[in-house]
Chain A
Amino acid sequence: MHDTRYEAPRSIEEAVIMLSSGSVDDVRVLAGGTDLLVQMTSGGRSPSLIINLKHIPELTRIRFDDSGALYLGAAANAFTIGQNERIRQQFPGLHEAVGLIGSDQIQGRASVGGNLCNASPAADTIPSLLTSKAVCHIAGPGGATRTLPVSEFILGPGRNALQAGELLVELELPAPAAHSADAYQRLIPRSEMDIAVVGVSVRVTVDNTGTCTDASVALGAVAPTPILVPEAAAALVGTRLEPADLERAAAAASAACRPLDDKRGTAEYRRRVAGVLTKRVAAEAAERARGR
């Protein structure tokens, strides 16, 4: 391994200056390291500078503003998020997705920011971020800041929209509407510790009569990136979320898949499972939304 430097800045400003000193691949930020260190030890990456983000207060902070929007520090770890009762209540599907990442050991380190930036097609939190309309808050050189919806942040497998010198600071999840809830489930070959064959997040909003007024459906592991499926959402809006309605959403979800064949499942299998899970997850989200 060639020479590597390590820094642990205390502020976003310091981190951005360090980040600007090299190319995106040469300078890597370290959140939980559960992707980065695996990539380094298995030889894929050897950055010349590693910047540990966990001493920057904004990066590990979790807060809600007066409107009820969640601001999730990009490097906050999965264990801490899992312990947050308000996140569990307000974003049950995101809470489920975070709780599925790896083992207890991995949870102690893994962050949502790292999961998003690493941009795996199977990343468990990305479908939930998509259906919750999460927005990335990004800091750049010279005090510049910009925001980008998660749907525009992910560009391809392992590729995100950050430019050299830019840092993902936090994720903003707008307060869900009244009678709105999300859910997330995935299929894995084992009962723990595996990568999703398919992951599905659904968010639905219902009115007082139980009619669906808004919906969002996102799939993981069935395309080069996690994808929103507006056709599946459209199949739900205006219905009472009866089994036949969920069936139409499931068909739309299966049709939207552009899966790979690999050792975890054939393309055909993934398409089928995407439909089955969409039905189940939509039913779960609907039940939660009606209970609110």
Chain B
Amino acid sequence: MPKLHIRTEINGEPAEFLAEPHQTLLDALRNELGLTGTKEGCGTGDCGACSVTFDGQLVCSCLVLAAEAEGARIGTVEGLASGEALHPLQQKFLEHAALQCGVCTPGFLVAAKALLDRNPDPDERTVRYALAGNLCRCTGYDKIIRAVLDAAAELRGEPA
């Protein structure tokens, strides 16, 4: 079966790759495009490690076909930092020690950014529900929630 030639946009840059029709977007990002920031935990939509944005919408890339990326805009964790400058979410994850092994972290960052993009001032409960699709087996979640709330405050320009 011939591979499909996919033209897409990733983190604002045009990108092209070849994909098998049944290949997932997660697999194509990691193995065709070398963007290994996006992680695979479960492959079945349960853990959120593979979170990316697809035309601005938060999705699990393990449940998207690579072929669907044709003409779409994809956002991955690699798009968060500007050059050497970390995104405030990334910085706050470091400050709050919101990661241990780090496998879940890219997914949490992408999901948290999607939340803050549409709701700059969420309360703790909102953050917990918004991140319910992201599983972490190391941190116990509390530090992650603190880091997101703190990053939200910084992005709103509030003093620490």
Asked if B59 and A1 sit within 8 Å, CB to CB, the answer is no
Chain A residues lying within 8 Å of B68, measured Cβ to Cβ, are 8, 52, 54
* Cβ of B74 under 8 Å from chain A: no
Q: Please, what's the 1-or-0 string for B104-139, where 1 marks a CB less than 8 Å from any CB in chain A?
A: 000000010011000000000000011011100000
A193 contacts B132, C-beta separation under 8 Å:
yes
* Contact indicator B65/A30 (Cβ below 8 Å): yes
- CB pair A41–B54 under 8 Å, yes or no, is no
B57-112 interface (Cβ within 8 A of A): 57-60, 62-65, 67-68, 70, 111
Chain B 36-57, CB within 8 Å of chain A: the 1/0 string? 0000000111101001001001
Q: A64 — which chain B residues lie within 8 A by C-beta?
A: none
Taken together as a complex, chains A and B put the C-alpha atoms of A244 and B57 apart, in Å, by 46
| Chain A residues whose CB sits within 8 angstroms of the CB of B132 once the complex forms | 103-104, 191-193
Residues of chain A lying within 8 A (CB to CB) of residue B134? 103
Digitize A81-106: 1 where CB-to-B-CB distance is under 8 Å, 0 elsewhere.
00000000000000000000011111
On whether A6 and B4 interact (CB within 8 A), knowing A104-B133, A105-B133, the answer reads: yes
Tell me whether B160 is interfacial, beta carbon within 8 Å. no
Whether B70 lies near A102 (C-beta < 8 A) is no
Quick check: A192 and B57 within 8 Å, CB to CB? no
- Would A41 and B44 count as touching, CB distance under 8 A? yes
Q: Say whether B140 faces chain A, with CB atoms less than 8 Å apart.
A: no
Distance to closest chain B CB from A39 (angstroms): 10
Which B residues lie at the A interface, using CB under 8 A?
1, 4, 20-22, 24, 43-46, 48, 51, 54, 57-60, 62-65, 67-68, 70, 111, 114-115, 129-130, 132-134
> Which residues of A are at the interface with B, using a C-beta cutoff of 8 A?
1, 3-6, 8, 30, 32-34, 37-38, 40-42, 46, 50, 52, 54, 77, 79, 102-106, 108-109, 191-193
